Amino acid sequence: MIELSCQPEPISLTEVDFADRTYPFSWGAPPAGLVASVRRLGVMVPPLLAPGTKGWIIVSGRRRLLAAGEVGLAEVAVGRLTTADPAELLPRVFWENAGSRSFNPVEAADILTVLEPLLPAAELARDVVPALGLASGARTLARCRALHDFPEVLRDLAAGGRVDGETVDRLREWSPAAIAAAARRATELPLNRNQLRELVELVDGVARRQGEPPAVVLTRLKDAAGNGAKDGDGPGRDTPAAVRDRLRGWYYPHLRAAEERFDRRRAALGLPAGVCLQPAPGFEGGFLELRCRVAGGDAWRTQRDWLAALAPETVDELLDV
């Protein structure tokens, strides 16, 4: 057993290899509360480091060290291990972390992915998965593996809770370039969790139907935004709603054409003020939804007369989408 308690000694932050993720217990910026605490009190609990090839690697305390850097500390007192066996340390440090905080989705995914080869499957399912706040089942493990390997830009979104499991399921079949492109789009617009899921679902659907890689669809989507005048968005401007609308237009071309045809016919009918006539565009037969807003006897008479004059053929034509 490795003895984790060792005498803290100061170390320059420049000697710490922040890029190393042998011990992947945290991802993302340190919480504001921790930064405020470090600014006021310094790093109270020494992080634990081990020797690595490009400097000292972080075994535990990444967020404390990042907070120290953020508040301008040059040195931090740390515990240094002379040797470290990740196979032995990883489970132990995991349980120390799990006892004191919860993990964001990326951290949970990274931890499960590194612990998977080290622990028996039964122990993983019984103890580790619940401690990470994850659902049980093979799908969870597949999602975690995918999230572990996703590009940084998407992992940042996921750490912020903006990537749900279904989105991960779709994205894990995409190329890294396409995943990064989707994540950049989600950051620029910006898209919330549901909007991102819908974007990925639609891009994936369009790509599969057309037999194109998702990256091509995303490029086309971006180009279409550039030609925004045509789409009514204005050049160079784009919004989540406009992107969704454009994608839905590609994914539902016949439905979109039918909606437009219906709108033209409805406009040609000359509806009286206050009357709203709506079919479900995916019309299943039988009815149109007619809404009348009546503000007085005159409006009522106008609308009644209009309805009385509505020929069955006109209704048929309206419904013939």
Partner 1 sequence: MNSLTSDGNFHPRRLVVETDVARYPFAAAIRDRLAGVPVVVVDRADPETLTALPDPELPTLVLAVHRGRFFKPCPGTAASYRCCLYHILHLALGCTIGCSYCVLQGYLNRPFITQFVNLEDAWRELETAFAAGDRFYRVGTGEFTDSLFMDDITALSPRLVQFFARQRQAVLEFKTKSVNIRRLLDYDGDIGETVVSWSVNAPAVAEREEGTAPGIERRLAAAAACRQRGYRIGLHFDPLIWFAGWEEGYTRAVEMIFDYLRPDDIIWISLGAFRFMPPMREVIRDRHPASCIIHGEFIRGLDGKMRYFWGLRRRLYEHLRRQLNRRAPGVRQYYCMEHPEMWRRTFGAAPADNDVVSRLLDRACWRYGDSCLNVR
Q: Contact positions toward partner 1, by CB under 8 A?
A: 173, 205, 208-209, 251-255, 258, 280-286, 319-321
Q: Cβ of residue 321: shortest distance to partner 1, in angstroms?
A: 6
How far apart are alpha carbons 260 and 254 in whole angstroms? 10
The residue (of 252 and 306) whose beta carbon lies closer to partner 1 is 252
CB 180 within 8 A of CB 154: yes
The Cβ-side half-sphere exposure at 49, using a 13 Å CA radius, reads 29
Is the distance from CB of 221 to CB of 207 less than 8 angstroms? no
Cβ neighbours around 177 below 10 Å, total: 13
Work out how close the CB of 263 gets to partner 1 at its nearest, in angstroms, rounded to a whole number.
Answer: 15
Our CB check for partner 1 shows the closer of 52 and 205 to be 205
Copy the structure tokens of residue 69.
Answer: 């850097």
* Cα-based angle 225, 255, 238 (whole degrees, multiple of 5): 15
Strand partners, 50: 57
34 Cβ contact partners less than 8 Å away, ≥ 6 residues apart: 63, 64, 67
CA dist 251 and 305 (Å) reads 40
Closest distance to partner 1 from the beta carbon of 211 (Å):
8
Task: Select 130 or 282, whichever has its Cβ closest to partner 1.
Answer: 282
Nearer to partner 1, 184 or 261 (CB): 261
Q: Shortest distance, CB of residue 148 to partner 1, whole angstroms?
A: 21
Q: Which is nearer to partner 1, 99 or 286 (CB)?
A: 286
In the bound complex, what is the minimum distance in angstroms from residue 171's beta carbon to partner 1? 13
* Residue reference for tokens 């989105």: 167
Residue closer to partner 1 by CB (options 107, 204) is 204
For partner 1, which is the closer residue by CB, 45 or 257? 257
Residue 13 carries which DSSP code? G
* Surface-to-core class of residue 10, CB atoms within 10 Å of its CB (0-12 exposed, 13-18 middle, 19+ buried): exposed
Alpha-carbon span 62 to 18, nearest angstrom: 8
In the complex, the smallest distance separating the C-beta of residue 201 from partner 1, rounded to whole angstroms, is 10
Considering the complex, what minimum distance in angstroms separates the CB of residue 143 from partner 1? 13
